[in-house]
């Protein structure tokens, strides 16, 4: 099922994101986590791939596993990094033949060792270009794009970032999934600005529960997301207590999600980091539609 169909047929679209594991042991652990999360009736599950496209093949393998084993639609992440248009076209054909009907269209981060993104010779420079390519070649594909409630780290201003988002949506995107954030006000202001710019597709908040403060700090340092001072202070006070960090982080995410639901968001996209415990705690606290 494609993104437009999912959003039109469900009052609330729950989605969960995972990434291809590196070992057989971690693959089995991920399967157990996804089987457990499947009880919450996610509308779809998305699968990323490694830097520079290092796990592109595994992404499609996992998408097929999701569709065959969990009986859920999948969404494959897809970037411009280090690829020509011919290579991008070939991968899209593989995805379509694998039964994937939803793509998360992204420019991608600069390859390791590079500070600035540079398109491959014969490649594409922007997610909007990739979105337009997907829409032209596979008009029936569901397409998601990324939004940044606290601004993309490379954008010169919030206004410029929002204009770029509008360009991506106009190129053919069916939904916007946001970068992780910990301050709901940032999301609500972002959503309002999207409306003012004529962005009418669903804007879905992305939530990453804090279960390991050091790991989250590394992630936010790269993506520019802001951890509230009060929350950071609480987590810093228990930096040597993993269980306490988990409790504080999950309780914050529960409050976030309950408020987001109360404000009528079209869904929530969970960055689960390949584990189920935190997401299960959060999902059990929410009012979710039955299967």
Choosing from 17, 28, 263, 280, which is the catalytic residue? 17
| Cross-strand partners of 271 | 17
Angle between helical axes of 242-262 and 184-196 (0-180°, round to 10):
30
For the CA atoms of 149, 152, 157, 159, the dihedral, rounded to the nearest 10 degrees, stands at -50
3-state DSSP assignment of residue 271: strand
| Cross-strand partners of 14 | 268
DSSP output for 241-257: -HHHHHHHHHHHHHHHH
Examine the residue annotation and report whether 17 is marked as an active-site residue of this protein.
yes
For the CA atoms of 154, 157, 158, 159, the dihedral, rounded to the nearest 10 degrees, stands at -130
3-state DSSP assignment of residue 285: coil
Residues 6+ apart with CB under 8 A from 52: 81, 82, 111, 112
CA–CA separation, 54 vs 181, rounded Å? 27
**Residue positions annotated with a catalytic role:** 17
């Amino acid at each position: 099922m494609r993104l437009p169909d999912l959003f039109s047929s469900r009052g609330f679209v729950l989605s969960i994101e995972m990434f291809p594991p590196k070992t057989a042991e971690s693959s089995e652990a991920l399967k157990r986590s996804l089987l457990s999360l499947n009880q919450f009736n996610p509308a779809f599950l998305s699968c990323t791939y490694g830097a520079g496209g290092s796990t592109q093949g595994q992404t499609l393998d996992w998408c097929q596993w999701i569709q065959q084993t969990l009986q859920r639609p999948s969404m494959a992440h897809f970037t411009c990094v280090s690829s020509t248009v011919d290579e991008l076209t070939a991968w899209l054909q593989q995805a379509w033949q694998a039964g994937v009907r939803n793509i998360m269209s992204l420019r991608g981060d600069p390859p390791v060792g590079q500070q600035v993104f540079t398109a491959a010779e014969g490649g594409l420079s922007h997610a909007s270009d990739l979105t337009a390519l997907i829409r032209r070649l596979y008009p029936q594909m569901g397409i998601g794009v990324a939004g940044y409630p606290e601004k993309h780290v490379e954008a010169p201003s919030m206004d410029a970032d929002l204009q770029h988002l509008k360009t991506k949506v106009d190129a053919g995107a069916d939904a916007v999934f946001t970068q992780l954030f910990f301050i709901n006000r940032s999301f609500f202001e972002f959503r309002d600005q999207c409306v003012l710019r004529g962005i009418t597709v669903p804007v879905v908040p992305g939530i990453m529960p804090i279960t390991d403060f050091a790991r989250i700090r590394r992630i936010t340092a790269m993506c520019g997301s802001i951890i509230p001072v009060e929350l950071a202070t609480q987590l810093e006070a228990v930096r040597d207590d993993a269980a306490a960090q988990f409790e504080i982080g999950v309780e914050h995410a529960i409050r976030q999600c309950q408020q987001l639901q109360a404000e009528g968001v079209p869904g929530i996209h969970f960055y689960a980091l390949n584990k189920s415990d935190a997401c299960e705690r959060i999902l059990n606290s929410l009012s979710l539609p039955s299967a």
